Amino acid sequence: MATITHAREAVVQTLYAKDQGNDNAYDQFEEILKDKKIKGPKADFARKLLKGVIEHLEEIDKTIKDHLIDWDFNRLDKVDKQILRVGTYELLYTDTPFQIVIDEAVKIAKNFSEDKAKSFINGILDKIAKEVREDAKK
């Protein structure tokens, strides 16, 4: 049975394919959902997530760049970059609790990235979440 994590993974995979030069990646998204048996509200969530990341990509990338210390955005691992993009979108533009966003991103990193990526992704998203929470208090 597909989970919300699977829905997020489908978005990460689609963004990764696009980043790797697959110009049809967005068109193939529905096929990925079907293959992963992501249906109903979970599929709707995935569609909304992908659309949101695409629409806000410039702001998302700027936010990530602003939180990188001694890292060049263009040299980030391609999968890690997509995980960060999805997590950053959720932190900035949804009401999903930050703990869930970070936990889901780390879970996806466990499945698709190197071991060290988990703590890196956790750290970047945690910094972004703290900033978002501080801005909300103002």
pLDDT in tens, 12-27: 999 999 999 999 999 9
Q: How many residues does the chain have?
A: 138
Domain extent, residue 40, equals 4-137
CB contact at 8 A, 121 and 64: no
Residues 128-138 as b/e (b if ≥16 CB within 10 A, e otherwise) read bbeeeeeeeee
Give the list of residues 6+ apart from residue 132 with CB closer than 8 angstroms, or none: 91, 92, 98
Average pLDDT, the chain: 94
Q: Residue 36: pLDDT band by 50, 70, 90 thresholds?
A: very high
CATH number, domain of 43, equals 1.10.940.10
pLDDT at position 133 is: 84
pLDDT at position 104 is: 97
Give the list of residues 6+ apart from residue 74 with CB closer than 8 angstroms, or none: none
| One-letter amino acid for residue 5 of the chain | T
pLDDT in tens, 54-82: 999 999 999 999 999 888 998 999 999 99
Number of domains composing the chain: 1
Q: Residue 92: pLDDT band by 50, 70, 90 thresholds?
A: very high
- Can you spell out the DSSP letters for 12-56? HHHHHHHHTT-TTTTTTHHHHHHHTT--HHHHHHHHHHHHHHHHT
What is the value of pTM for the model shown?
0.95
